[in-house]
Amino acid sequence: MDFNLTQEQRMIKRTIKEFAEEEVAKGALERDRTKTFPIHIFRKLAELGMMGLPFPEEYGGGGADTISFAIVVEELSKACASTGITYSAHISLGGAPIHMFGTEEQKRKYLVPLCTGESLGAFGLTEPNAGSDAGATETKAEEDRDDFVLNGEKSFITNGSYAKFIALTAITNSKEQKKEISSIIVPTDADGFSVKDEYEKMGLHAANTTELVLENVRVPKENLLGKRGEGLKQFLQTLDGGRIGIGAMAVGIAQAAYEKALQYAKQRRQFGKPLSTFQGIQFKLADMAMKIELARNMVYKAAWLKDEGKPFTKEASICKLFASEMCLEVTSEAVQIHGGNGYMKDFHVERYMRDAKLLQIGEGTSEIQRIVIAREIGAR
- The residues annotated with a catalytic role in the active site are 363
Calculate the CA dihedral of residues 366, 372, 375, 380 and round it to 10 degrees.
40
Q: Are 152 and 139 in contact (CB under 8 A)?
A: yes
Residues 6+ apart with CB under 8 A from 157: 122, 123, 124, 126, 166, 209, 210, 211, 212
Strand partners, 143: 148
Q: Would strands 165-171 and 123-124 be described as parallel, antiparallel, or unpaired?
A: parallel
Amino acid, single-letter form, for residue 354: R
- Residue 69 sits at the vertex; the CA angle it makes with 156 and 44, to the nearest 5 degrees, is 80
Cα–Cα dist 75/17, whole Å = 6
Which value, to the nearest 10 degrees, does the dihedral of the CA atoms of residues 289, 316, 71, 297 take? Answer: 40
> With left for phi above 0 and alpha for psi between -120 and 50, is residue 96 left, alpha or beta?
alpha
Query: Do 127 and 137 touch, CB atoms closer than 8 A?
Result: yes
Q: CB of 243 within 8 A of CB of 96? A: no
- Total residue count of the chain as it appears in this document: 380
CA–CA distance, 77 with 246 (Å, rounded to integer): 10
